[in-house]
Chains A and B, each alone.
Chain A
Amino acid sequence: MDKSQLNDPFEQARLEKGIGHMNDQGDPVQMLLRLKDVRKAAHQWKSFQSGGDEIGRIVIPSEEKIRDIRQIPFEVDPPEHGEYRALVDAWFKRPLETEYQEKLHRQIESLIDGIAQMDSVEVVSQLALPLQSRALTLLLNIPYEESETWIGWGTHVFRSEETSLDGDKAAILYDYIDAQIDKAIANPGDDFYSVLLDADFQGRKLTKEEVKGVMILTFAGGRDTVINAVTNTIAYFAEHPESLKRLKKEPEIIGKAVEELARYFSPLTHMGRVVAEDTQVCEHAAKANSRISLCWASANRDASVFERPNEVVLDRKMNPHVAFGFSHHKCLGATHARQILKTLITVLSQKIETIAILDSKENIEDLDQFKRKVGFDSLHVQFKPMA
């Protein structure tokens, strides 16, 4: 009964010091571990910046050496950041529309129907990746068939087996996006590429480079996060069949359950910022041009805010988690991600009786001082459909 458990490796350091240390490729990171500190630093964009000259540096492990395209709006600070967000915010709210939700429901239902009878299902490759890829066609408003290409890339298009950074693999995605942008220029439609190409920014159109920066982020930001969230959700319900039954009886708490699973899983562990000038974080010196990180995963287990932080309390009422970030850069894809999880839970609760874990291999992130499980490299299960 502990395969679905995600331990909190940060507890001691969070209580004792409030910060952790990580030496990432010789460019150290001071990790903020307490909820209040994380929120404050996320809010103080002037002191802790996302938009510096060194593109890729706020990602940990740093992508400085393998990327020279600025991801938008992620690597931009206010006020420009807000101008970019204004161009895309409404588009990313489309998952609230009924038609979108119905399509997503049909996608997920047919995926679950397709695997429910199998003797063994590998959840990452046979459920999470196809689900994430197909759902992305809705977000981008492009033909469903395009998802075949992305599924073909496998889970490691941005990471390779040996190292977490791989420039060659990233090139597959960049070349693909270049080609799609050219296609949309030649043949504008009502897809996200075309919408971006037509958007007005500071009295001009977005450049190809900017459109690419938005698209890369949309692909990269929504891939591993959603895959981990979906896989962890299946593992959780496998070990908590009573929770699945409860959600079937009380569908009105599914919204709260999604927030709680997002908190507990924290699919994105942390994100960096560059310190603008000498200052302090949590009473520790932070030098100008050094890096800090906002550790969402640690903040989400802060016992000074969350009661029973290491338990999944499905209907947790006060849940001020930061799984989707906080303040200016809060997750643009959160509406889509939440809708995916709501729909998945709804379909599972209606169609699946129990789930048995057959075999699993954990995906452990190495953060130097901390080792954190974020999900699974593989998870083999057998579903038992409702009679």
Chain B
Amino acid sequence: MAKITFITQENETITVEGNSGSLMELAVNNNVRGIDGDCGGVCSCATCHVHLSPEHMETVGSPSEIENDMLELDDNVSEYSRLSCQIQLSEALDGLVLKVAN
């Protein structure tokens, strides 16, 4: 089990637990505002854009080239941007805090 916290644009804080699937799926299943996951997680819609906190960047890793190309043209992109459908849940992510980008 990993505990993940989402902070929405409206500054709502939602902490949920999960052990499999992607962070996008976790967010959608828990109705996190601003994470729509329109394409179901195939890196085609960017409706799952989040910002990591700097200290978590290393644990989670950086985006692939395809993901980067998507992020580049999305609103509110930063060096801490990731598409949450491209991050798989695991014990190692326990305590992760994510800001919903849009």
Contacts and interface: CB of A to CB of B under 8 A. Distances in A.
Contacts of B69: 36, 39, 320
Interface string B66-88: 10011001000000000000000
A320 B44 contact: yes
Nearest to B75: A327
A83 B84 CA distance: 27
Interface string B40-51: 111111000000
Contact of B40 (A43, A259, A305, A322): A259
Contacts of B43: 318-320
Interface residues of A, number: 22
A334 interface: yes
Given A305-B66, A334-B38, A335-B38, A319 B73 contact: no
B39 interface: yes
Contacts of A338: 38
Contact of B42 (A318, A322, A327, A334): A318
Given A43-B73, A327-B73, A317 B38 contact: no
Name the interface size band of chain B.
Answer: 10 to 19
Contacts of B41: 255
Nearest to A254: B40
B38 A319 contact: no
A65 interface: no
Contacts of B64: 318
A256 interface: yes
B41 to A, nearest CB: 8
Nearest to A93: B36
Contacts of B40: 255-256, 258-259
A334 B47 CA distance: 13
Contact of B66 (A43, A320, A335): A320
A316 B42 contact: yes
Nearest to A258: B40
A246 interface: no
B46 to A, nearest CB: 9
A58 B69 CA distance: 26
Given A319-B44, A320-B66, A321-B44, A259 B39 contact: yes
A335 B36 CA distance: 11
Nearest to A40: B73
A50 B21 CA distance: 39
A124 B73 CA distance: 37
Contacts of A259: 39-40, 42, 44
B73 A256 contact: no
Interface in A179-224: none
Nearest to B64: A318
Contacts of A305: 66
Given A259-B39, A320-B66, A39 B44 contact: no
Interface string A271-290: 00000000000000000000
A120 B73 CA distance: 48
A86 B101 CA distance: 18
A374 to B, nearest CB: 20
21 contacts: A36-B69, A255-B40, A256-B40, A256-B42, A258-B40, A259-B42, A318-B42, A318-B64, A319-B39, A319-B42, A319-B43, A319-B44, A320-B42, A320-B43, A320-B66, A320-B70, A321-B42, A326-B73, A327-B73, A334-B38, A338-B38
Q: Please give me the 6 A-B residue pairs with the lowest Cβ-Cβ distance, nearest first.
A: A255-B40, A319-B42, A43-B73, A320-B43, A320-B44, A259-B42
Interface of B: 38-45, 64, 66, 69-70, 73
Interface of A: 36, 39-40, 43, 255-256, 258-259, 305, 316-322, 326-327, 330, 334-335, 338
Given A43-B73, A316-B42, A318-B43, 11 more contacts: A36-B69, A39-B69, A39-B73, A255-B40, A319-B43, A320-B43, A321-B44, A326-B73, A334-B38, A335-B38, A338-B38
